[in-house]
Homo-oligomer: A and B are copies of this chain.
Amino acid sequence: MKYFNIQMAAQISGLSTHTIRAWEKRYGALHPDRTDTGRRQYSNEEIERLTLLSQLTNLGNSIGQIARLPDPELKEIYEKLTHSRESVMMSVQHNPQQVQINAEETRRNLLMALAGYKVDIISHELNKAKTALTPGGFALDILVPLLKEVEHRRQLGTLSTAQITALFAIIKFHVGNIIYGHYEKKVKSSNKFAIATPEGELHLLDIMLGALLCCQHQMNFFFLSSNLPAPSISEAVNAIETNVLILGVSQLQNLKTPLPVFIEEILGHTKNLCEVWVVGMNDLTRQLSGHRSKKVRVFASFEELDKAMEQME
Contacts and interface: CB of A to CB of B under 8 A. Distances in A.
A154 to B, nearest CB: 11
Interface in A86-134: 86-93, 95, 97-99, 117, 119-120, 123-124, 127-128, 131
- Count copies of this chain in the complex: 2
Contacts of A196: 162
Q: What interface size band does chain A fall in?
A: 35 or more
Nearest to A65: B3
Contact of A60 (B5, B83, B128): B5
B5 A65 contact: yes
A88 B12 contact: yes
B92 A184 contact: no
A160 B91 contact: no
Interface of A: 2-5, 7-8, 10-17, 35, 41, 44, 51, 54-55, 58-62, 65-66, 69, 73, 76-77, 80-81, 83-93, 95, 97-99, 117, 119-120, 123-124, 127-128, 131, 160-163, 165-166, 168-170, 173-174, 176-177, 180-185, 196, 222-229, 232-233, 235-236, 239-240
Given A2-B77, A119-B222, A161-B232, 14 more contacts: A2-B76, A5-B60, A10-B95, A11-B131, A17-B97, A85-B183, A89-B180, A117-B222, A160-B236, A161-B235, A162-B196, A162-B236, A166-B225, A177-B177
